[in-house]
Structure 1
Amino acid sequence: MTDLAVDVPGVRIGAAPALRSILAPGGTVGRIAAAVLGPDARAVRAVLFDKTPAANWSLGWHQDRTIVVAERVTVAGFGPWTIKSGLVQVEPPFVILERMVTLRIHLDAVDATNAPLRIVPGSHRLGRIAETRIASIVAAHGERTCLADRGDIWCYATSILHASRAADPPRRRRVLQVDYSTDALPDPLCWRGV
């Protein structure tokens, strides 16, 4: 992954042949997703987050709401559409996101000051959360900080409310985030995959 862009918040990975065997259901990482979703789990999106002293951003509370597909095709219930890093992304019916899991592979240690993932426990069971409700849900449910050693993998529901602060002091924090699904998309839509 040395040819990926640097100094940007997240690099969306369209194809990663070197990672396929690791991310496959029988691979080192993929078997974790398969243990949760079953043997048909497949990697459908990957993003490399690389915080550095020069690119040390924070990200407010949100739900991940888009998937990456092979091409834009009009299908009822899918939209709006965007293109990020040349990849076609669409917001699917929320039920698809609710059945997905996300794995975060920590390439660096993440202590309390190195921009750990923050989650709102149970928020993945609340469906699609309107922006206007996020603050009250965080207040009602609280938050947890997900610390990690280098090499640790966190698995969580893709639809969970999550956020992260900037590292303080600024330093490197790399995480490979991979979304998994077992759903087939309605024809003629299809996953792009990783």
Structure 2
Amino acid sequence: MDNHLTAHRQEIVNDGFTVINGIYTNAEVKSILDVIASANQSNPAFRKTDDLFAIRQFLKELPQVVPLIFNDKLKAIITALFDQDYFVTKSIYFDKPELSNWFVAWHQDLTIVVDKKTDVEGYGPWTVKQNQFGVQPPLPILKDNFTIRIHLDDTNEANGALKAITGSHLKDIYRPETIDWNIETETTCNVNAGGFMIMRPLLLHASNRTTNNQKRRVVHIEFSRADLDGGLGWAEKLTF
């Protein structure tokens, strides 16, 4: 592994996240956006309001985007930073429009999306959203998973870049109401268009309202290498 990726790997270990720019060219970003623009937006997986445009099960709904997302650079980085056993478990496209006034409070990503609801020891509580079953799995699964957030626009604090509490992924379940700002450090994760942020799901993160009239379009992809217990399966498993 070259020194560049070694530093990013260490940031993931210590901080819970890292930012890598220059993964997609402007032309590649445009190709991804063109696929999204040409999609049938009446599909139930598509959600569109004045404040948000989202596509759940993004890679499953738009399979033609998969080879554009998983280019050689992305696959090489995943293999170098993690290993070849990981697969996709969830994918969402978010478009936070220029005039969006919503924000996301501090939280960890504690749920995974599975194919059915059944009582399994160590799994719970359960949620149902858009006919998808979400459940909090055992802690070792969450600790081993990772998320890649591919940015299709330049993103900073003014248009809703994620804020993260450095190192918070090392504290297991960390309730937002217990954050001690005397000891914690907040970092704004600026990402250029064509770059991405890699994060652990236990990282405490949030985002502000948009204030600069600039879009923030992101492809959010979650990865795991875990076999689930009790007959549970991943709802959106995809190898690449």
With normalisation by structure 2, the TM-score equals: 0.72
Q: Any conservation in 2 of the 1:96–1:183 contact (CA below 8 Å)?
A: yes
Cα deviation, 1:5-26, whole Å, max 9, x if unaligned, reads: 22237543262423444566x8
What secondary structure, in the 3-state scheme, does the structure 1 residue paired with 2:206 have?
strand
Match of 1:75 among 92, 97, 120: 120
Matches of 2:203 and 2:173, distance apart in 1: 10
User: Is residue 5 from structure 1 mapped to residue 47 from structure 2 by the alignment?
Assistant: yes
Matches of 1:54 and 1:168, distance apart in 2: 8
Question: What is the one-letter code of the residue matched to 1:70?
Answer: D
Deviation at 1:71, TM superposition (A): 1.3
Match of 1:18 in 2: 64
Match of 1:146 among 189, 210, 215: 189
Q: Any conservation in 2 of the 1:37–1:182 contact (CA below 8 Å)?
A: no
Question: What is the one-letter code of the residue matched to 2:97?
Answer: T
Matches of 2:185 and 2:194, distance apart in 1: 27
**1:112–1:29: structure 2 CA closer, same or farther, 3 Å change rule?**
same
User: Is residue 174 from structure 1 mapped to residue 220 from structure 2 by the alignment?
Assistant: no
Deviation at 1:170, TM superposition (A): 3.4
Matches of 1:9 and 1:61, distance apart in 2: 21
Match of 1:157 among 184, 190, 200: 200
What secondary structure, in the 3-state scheme, does the structure 1 residue paired with 2:110 have?
coil
Match of 1:105 in 2: 150
Question: What is the one-letter code of the residue matched to 2:118?
Answer: V
Matches of 2:115 and 2:72, distance apart in 1: 24
What secondary structure, in the 3-state scheme, does the structure 2 residue paired with 1:113 have?
helix
User: Is residue 62 from structure 1 mapped to residue 115 from structure 2 by the alignment?
Assistant: no
Which shifted more, 153-162 or 6-15?
Answer: 6-15
Matches of 2:76 and 2:130, distance apart in 1: 28
Question: What is the one-letter code of the residue matched to 1:6?
Answer: K
Identity of matched residues, %: 30
Matches of 2:140 and 2:54, distance apart in 1: 25
Higher helix share: 2
What secondary structure, in the 3-state scheme, does the structure 2 residue paired with 1:83 have?
strand
Match of 1:188 in 2: 231
Deviation at 1:27, TM superposition (A): 5.4
Matches of 1:185 and 1:27, distance apart in 2: 29
Matches of 1:112 and 1:171, distance apart in 2: 11
What secondary structure, in the 3-state scheme, does the structure 1 residue paired with 2:158 have?
coil
What RMSD over aligned residues (CA atoms) do the two structures have, in Å?
2.2
Q: Any conservation in 2 of the 1:11–1:85 contact (CA below 8 Å)?
A: no
Cα deviation, 1:125-148, whole Å, max 9, x if unaligned, reads: 1101123313x1x44121111111
Matches of 1:147 and 1:112, distance apart in 2: 7
Match of 2:20 in 1: none
Instruction: Tell me the number of residue pairs that the alignment of Structure 1 and Structure 2 aligns.
Output: 191
Question: What is the one-letter code of the residue matched to 1:150?
Answer: A
Question: What is the one-letter code of the residue matched to 1:35?
Answer: A
Match of 2:170 in 1: 125
